[in-house]
Amino acid sequence: MTHPGRPDRDSGEYDSVSVPRSLLPGALVFRGESGGCGGPVRRTVRDWTVDCLAFVWAVGLWALMITRNPTLGHLPDWLVSLDPWLGAVACLALWWRRRFPLLVALVLVPVGALANTGVGAGAVIILNLALRVPWQRALPVLCLMIAAVAPYVLIYSVPYEGGWTAAVFVLAYHVVFFAWGSALRARRLLVLKLREDADRERTEHARRLAESRRTERTAIAREMHDVLAHRISLLSVHAGALAYRTRKAEAGAGPELSGAEIAESAQVIRDTAHQALNELRDVLYVLRTDTDNGETAPPQPTMADLKALVDEARAAGQTVDFRTEDSSESESPRPQLQRTAYRVVQEGLTNARKHAPGSPVTVRLYAGSPRTEVTVEVSNPLPVGVPESAIPGAGAGLTGLHERVELDGGKLRHGSVDGTFTLSARLPWHSPPGR
C-alpha cells in the first residue's frame, strides 16, 4: 500500500493509493512548499473546505458578538462602533492566513485589543500562526497579542464581565489554540521527515541495487573469462595444429594424416568443447543458485586439480614444469583460497599459450601454512619479437584476476624482468577480516 504523500514520478506531485489527495493538506500533497508549514501553497479540496468552515465559524461568532455588544453598557460608544469593523477585517484576513501567517497574526494584535467580534477569527489565526511559523518567531507574536489584550481585560472584563475568571479565560483562549497549532505543526513536520527518510531510503536502496548488479555482472564476467578463455585457447591450439599438419601434408612437406589421427584430433576438440560447456554450466549454477536452500553446488576447482590442469596444457603442446611444495600442516587451505590459486595458474597458462606460444612455462606452488601465505607463481620466457597471437582475447583476464585476488585478501603482481614474464599471487591462509 502506498504511503499518503508518496511522490508521483510523472506529475511531480505526491499521490496516494490509500488516501485521496483531495483529503490531504496541500502542504503534504504538492512539492516545493516551504517546509510544508508556511509560504504559498496550492490548496486541495480539503484545504478549501477547511477555509470555508473557518470563515463561516468566524463570521458566525462575529454576528453573534454584534448582537451582544449593545448590551454591554460599560463599553464606550466609540469602541462599540469600531468593534464590528475590526472584527470584519479579521474575518476577511483569514483568506490570506496560509500565504502570510505572520502578517495576518500581526493584524490580529489591534483587533484582539479592541474588538470582541474578532474572537472566532482570532482563534483560527492563533492556531494558524503556531502551525505555519516556527515557534521562535511565533511565540513573541503570541506574547504581543496577550499584552495587547491585557488593558481591555483589566479595564472592562475583570470589573464588569466575570472578574478574574474572564482573565483566565482570555489567557487560556490564546494558549490552547497556540498549543493546538503547535501540535499540528509537530505532527506535520514528523510526516515530512518520515517522507524524506523514505525517499532517502528508496534512493539508497536503488544505489545499493545498482551496485549489487554491477558486482554481479563483474563476478559473472570474471568467472566466465577464467573458464572459457582457458578451454577455448586449448580448442584453438588443437584446431590450429590439425590445420597446420593438414596444410603441410597437402604441400608435400610432411606425412599425410591418417583417418585415425584425424578422428583422434576431432575427439580431443570435441572433448575440450564439452568440458568448456560443463564448466560454464557449473559457473552459472554457482552464480544463480542459492546454496542456502539445501541444494548441493557443483564442486569447485581446488589446488589438487592443478595437476590435471597442467596435464591438459601439456597435452595441448605446452612445455610445463610444475613444482609444488606441500604444506606440512594437517589443516587444508580454505576452499576460496584454493579456487583462487587454481584460477591464477589457469590464467597464467592461458596467457602463455596466447602471447608466448612454444615458450616453456614454469608453475610453482608454495602451500605455506596458517602462519604464512600461499604463493602461486607462473613464469615463461618472452618470445623474441612480439608475434601477433592467433588466439583472440578480451584483454580483461589480468584485471579480473586482480579483482579476484584482492577480494580474497591477497596481492597479485605481474610483469617482465630480464626477458621473463612472471605472474605471482600471494594469498592469506585465513579469510581477511570482515569476509
Reported as a pLDDT band with limits 50, 70 and 90, residue 423 is: very high
Decide which of 323 and 226 is more confident: 323
Q: What is the pLDDT of residue 13?
A: 41
Amino acid at 430: H
Q: Distance (Å, rounded) from C-alpha 407 to C-alpha 337? A: 10
Q: Closest Cα partner for 15 from 28, 185, 206, 42? A: 28
Q: What is the pLDDT of residue 395?
A: 52
Dihedral pair phi/psi, residue 377, rounded to 5°? -140, 130
Chain CA centroid to CA 369, Å: 41
Question: What is the arithmetic mean of pLDDT over 249-257?
Answer: 70
Average pLDDT, the chain: 76
Q: Distance (Å, rounded) from C-alpha 248 to C-alpha 386? A: 25
Architecture of domain 303-435: 2-Layer Sandwich (3.30)
Contact 389, 354 (CB under 8 A): yes
Q: What is the pLDDT of residue 304?
A: 85
Q: Does the pLDDT of residue 94 top 80, yes or no?
A: yes
Percent of the chain with pLDDT over 70: 70
Domain ranges of the chain: 6-205, 303-435
Instruction: Give the bridge partners for 140, in sequence order.
Output: none
Reported as a pLDDT band with limits 50, 70 and 90, residue 222 is: low
Task: Give the pLDDT confidence of 335-361 residue by residue, as tens digits.
Answer: 888 888 888 898 888 888 888 888 899
Question: What is the arithmetic mean of pLDDT over 371-390?
Answer: 76
Q: Does the pLDDT of residue 5 top 60, yes or no?
A: no
pTM (predicted TM-score): 0.46
Task: Give the pLDDT confidence of 267-306 residue by residue, as tens digits.
Answer: 777 777 766 676 667 666 655 655 445 455 556 788 888 8
Q: Which three cell numbers stand for residue 62?
A: 462575529
Percent of the chain with pLDDT over 90: 4
Q: Distance (Å, rounded) from C-alpha 266 to C-alpha 370? A: 45
State how beta strands 320-325 and 361-366 pair: parallel
**Residue for cell digits 590439425?**
242
Q: What is the pLDDT of residue 73?
A: 65
Q: Distance (Å, rounded) from C-alpha 416 to C-alpha 21? A: 69
Q: What is the pLDDT of residue 409?
A: 83
Chain CA centroid to CA 149, Å: 55
Buried b (16+ CB within 10 A) or exposed e, 36-67: bbbeebebbebbeeebeebbebbbebbeebbe
Q: Does the pLDDT of residue 378 top 90, yes or no?
A: yes
